[in-house]
Amino acid sequence: MNKSLWEKVSLPHFQKLERDISTDVLIIGGGIAGLLTAYFLHKAGVEYILVEQNTICSGVTAKTTAKITLQHGFNYQKILSSSGVGIAQGYYLANKKALDTYKKICKDIDCDFEIKDNYVYSYNAGKIKKELSALSKIGCQAEFVEDISLPINSSGAVKLRNQAQFHPLKFLSTIAKDLNIYERTKVREMIGNTAVTENGKIKAKRVVVATHFPFINKHGKYFLKLYQHRSYVLALKGAQNVGGMYVDENDKGLSFRNYGDLLLLGGGGHRTGKQGGSYHELRKFARLYYPNAKEVSHWATQDCISLDKMCYIGKYSSGTDQMYVASGFNKWGMTGAMCSAQLLCDMLTGNKNDFEEVFNPSRNILKPQLIVNGFESTVNLLTPTAKRCPHLGCALKWNKQERSWDCTCHGSRFSDSGKLLDGPATDGIEI
């Protein structure tokens, strides 16, 4: 496994659960969404326990490029078209609140927090114009930039000022140190709101599932509402100082941002289990445009993509009154996690939150992506192969680039020895 730049930080560690215990709120998952939820509940004086099957920040949180921005590709034109002005504006305001909260909290934390302008570039002038119009309609001030400081020939970019970037694990090491956490505590089964682990049961009044991809299949239909997408990052020394944060509006495009004297070049994306550019695409670009640069690190990440490119935050399903979820952050986990933590804390403390409808996990699922997800699942269920994913039985495909067995249906991944790398599967496979 290749480690990201962030993983060099020493994180606090916590004991393993060794007994039966009860709590008001149980949070399952020790990534940024779970930790921030615990942080806000802690500040609100709510009794809670957070459990993590490995160690905190050992999953996708450690693999981010850590851009904090409310500009999520050309998402606003899509939301405006599919859901209307009210939902689009709510999405904007929720992410703006998340960004503002990071700015406030990070004033007192040494986490390399920097204010940076964000640019979403495109090769399609019509899309740029449409996104600028959408942002204007919801009250967001954006700018058109014709020439961007990248070695690409785009049609320009949409720019938002005063966004941010930081070191996520430095931030979370400070956030987590005083929280009530059990590590190496895997939830093997949920019986109602009681979590069964190897060495004890946790009886909770309410449960928050913050496990990246929700692992409880009998509620919520997340196996239809989500798929996973992989992307890759090179950390290059001696490359370019781009002066801001850049991303292509196309999911298969490139992203750029600096950390210290390094350029973080991202891209090569593809649906998990499918073929894509991977590291090869990034290294080819680096050799062409940054021939004197040295690669000092590389890593890959995995994002949960929702049907309408908005997070699922709130009640796990319409039939689970005391179970909640945070998932489907698409490629924007930093703001998505903060939106989740703030919304869930309000729901759990009985406070009104203006964004419940925007992120309601039980909203309409009749979207074009639903057909694609259903087709992929059907094809893979019918594919004859000995290697099957223990999540829902889909066929696994060998990933030569990363030497892993990957599930196209829902994105579970396993090492060449069968060890579980990414969920929603909860156990490894036999090789």
* Token duo for residue 107: 């004033």
The span from the CA of 129 to the CA of 107, in Å, is 35
The span from the CA of 217 to the CA of 219, in Å, is 6
Residue 79 lies inside a defined structural domain of this protein: no
* Closest residue by Cα to residue 23 from 203, 187, 208: 203
Radius of gyration of the chain (CA): 21
Q: What is the pLDDT of residue 380?
A: 66
4-48 confidence digits (pLDDT tens) = 999 999 999 999 999 999 999 999 999 999 999 999 999 999 999
251-302 confidence digits (pLDDT tens) = 889 999 999 999 999 999 888 888 888 899 999 999 999 999 999 999 999 9
CATH number assigned to the domain comprising residue 270: 3.30.9.10
Helix, strand, coil percent content, the chain, rounded in steps of 5 = 30, 30, 40
Is pTM beyond 0.85? Reply is yes
Our CA dihedral for 385, 386, 389, 391, rounded to 10 degrees, sits at: 110
| Host domain of residue 411 | 368-422
Residue 431 lies inside a defined structural domain of this protein: no
DSSP string, 268-324: EEEETTS---HHHHHHHHHHHH-TT-EEEEEEEEEEEEESSSS-EEEESSTT-TTEE
Look at residue 379 and tell me whether its pLDDT is greater than 70.
no
Look at residue 377 and tell me whether its pLDDT is greater than 80.
no
Q: Into how many domains does the chain fold?
A: 3
**Residue type present at position 28:** I
Contact 273, 397 (CB under 8 A): yes
99-131 confidence digits (pLDDT tens) = 999 999 999 999 999 999 999 999 999 999 999
Q: To which H or E segment does residue 27 belong?
A: strand 21-28
Last residue of a domain, one of 285, 306, 327: 306
Tell me, yes or no, whether 315 and 394 share the same domain: no
